Structure 1
């Protein structure tokens, strides 16, 4: 999808305030819902993905299963609200051995497991809104000893609320972020957005 697009800085694939936030996504729902609601903490529209079973309610990008994202930017950043329920997401990447690898992070797993085509790992979320930062290049190297080439697919499962999902060429401080990439909390709300580095809370024992 983005293979022939000039990629630098930021590349957003989901923004909950947009006119069609799921324009390039497909959704699957069984015993749950995927809908846009107003979040009380940030007083703004967000996408809620909820289901009784995390594996059967999710959004996936790109929408066409035959297509791939082709995003070369190595950092995946997701602004997600912790709903204090089971939550998981998955990223499929291509490495320099031309092998498709999947990384799956979940808040209900306690150990990291590396298998030839999938690496599953624990993820710790703080209360409220979290900024999840995922260094795909670092993970590919540490888990498989290969080099990250591009991201093929992103899949976000129940249960969470989503503000934005984007890729970047590096990690940016709050001051460096463009205004539309920041999560503004109302002044009267003293809650802060917690930044969670996936590789900091998930030690890949390699």
Structure 2
């Protein structure tokens, strides 16, 4: 999707304030909902994903399973509201050995496991809004001893509300305008 696009700075793939926040995402809903809601903390619309359990309701980008994102920017920055329910996100990357690897972070597991094609790890969310900065280059190198090439897919599961942006680097990053901040 973005492979032939010049990439520097930021590249947003999920921005709930936009008119069609899920335009490039596939939605799976079973016993739950995916909808824009007004958040009382930030007084702005956010995307809420809620399902009966963590694997029944989720969004995946890109929507077409035959396509890939082709994002070279090494940082995935997510702004997630802790709804005190199970939540996970998964990022599929391509490394310099041309191997597809997945990283899954969740708030319901307690240990990190590295297998040949998937690395699962715990994630702790504070109350309220959280900014998650996921250094894909560092994780790929530490887990597999290879170099990050690009991001292929992103999936967000469980109960959460938030945004997702890729960045070239991260320094005291704020993805909300001053009128949207807490």
Deviation at residue 52 of structure 1 after TM alignment: 1.1
CA RMSD of aligned residues (A): 4.1
Deviation at residue 72 of structure 1 after TM alignment: 0.3
- Whether contact under 8 Å (2:14, 2:22) holds in the other structure is yes
CA 12–192 in structure 1, closer or farther in 2 if over 3 Å, else same: closer
Gaps of 5+ in 2: 157-167, 171-180
1:159-184 Cα distance to aligned partner (Å, 9 max, x none): xxxxxxxxxxxxxxxxxxxxxxxxxx
Aligned to 1:171: none
Gaps of 5+ in 1: 157-190, 194-200
Instruction: State the aligned residue count.
Output: 161
- Whether contact under 8 Å (2:32, 2:57) holds in the other structure is yes
Name the CA distance, whole Å, in 2 between partners of 1:29 and 1:88.
16
Higher strand share: 2
Runs (4+) off by over 2 Å: none
What TM-score results when the alignment is normalised by the length of structure 1? 0.75
1:19-59 Cα distance to aligned partner (Å, 9 max, x none): 10000001000111100000000111000000111112100
3-state SS of paired residue (1:45)? strand
Deviation at residue 192 of structure 1 after TM alignment: 22
- Whether contact under 8 Å (2:39, 2:45) holds in the other structure is yes
Name the CA distance, whole Å, in 1 between partners of 2:149 and 2:169.
34
